[in-house]
A and B are shown apart, each in its own frame.
Chain A
């Protein structure tokens, strides 16, 4: 470093010691506020694809849910009404099953 550069550095660094008390107090307060800032921890970059895929999988599950009926017009009652004859003739079919067992026996 040349004498010129050294001289400038000396002048600039000396000027830091002449700040007024109001500015120093303000700097102190702002430093305190900065230290109270919550930490924003950054995730390692290699996790980004994994997180992306996980998010895509969750989205896919929400869109394509195997447990929801694919036909919007079908209700739970429809499953019951398909077998309504069975329920209305339940006594008959029970008797029929009993008879068949008796014959086989």
Chain B
């Protein structure tokens, strides 16, 4: 009888622990999903691909890393997300090559889901039309400039500047040394400044 009661209490405790863990995970995912989607869409220029990449990153974090310390979730999540983004790029290249061989002529770039940076970067509703338009233009210019960066510089910029990860966390997410992160990041800033310098300073 005592053993059964202990087992029941233990199960209750574990269940409660699991519920708390899930709530904590849910809060974390809620806190990153918008940014993750924006990052993915800037990289992939495709709404569905971006949503898929974000979902896969969330799923993998929940399935494999829920037991990790919560402080590790952020760099882990972005590591997985960037890995999914690169997978999506590779898949797209393969599909384009395959389509080319078959001569179907269907280009992924002609898909209706392609993000128009100007369209989706509309400013906040509370702004008057003109400031909103200017804001949208600023976002669009920035998106285009980021897209033109080499992949590693893009990653370093997004993680360091946009997300605000430390150099160490960014190195963990990018699976490289802190020195490499600093190099990629400084080159990214230099490129962006040369394109956007007058606009943002």
A→B interface (CB under 8 Å)? 1-5, 7-9, 11-20, 23-24, 26-27, 30-31, 33-35, 37-42
Contacts and interface: CB of A to CB of B under 8 A. Distances in A.
Binding site of B, secondary structure by majority: helix, strand, loop or mixed? helix
A15 B62 contact: no
A8 B34 contact: no
A86 to B, nearest CB: 57
Nearest to A19: B34
B63 A40 contact: yes
Nearest to B136: A18
Given A15-B121, A35-B25, 11 more contacts: A4-B189, A4-B201, A8-B192, A11-B142, A23-B37, A26-B51, A27-B34, A30-B51, A34-B59, A38-B63, A42-B64
A75 B61 CA distance: 58
Contact of B164 (A2, A9, A17): A9
Nearest to A7: B200
Nearest to B199: A7
B139 A11 contact: yes
A8 B193 CA distance: 10
A46 to B, nearest CB: 16
B15 to A, nearest CB: 14
B122 A18 contact: yes
Contacts of B35: 13, 16
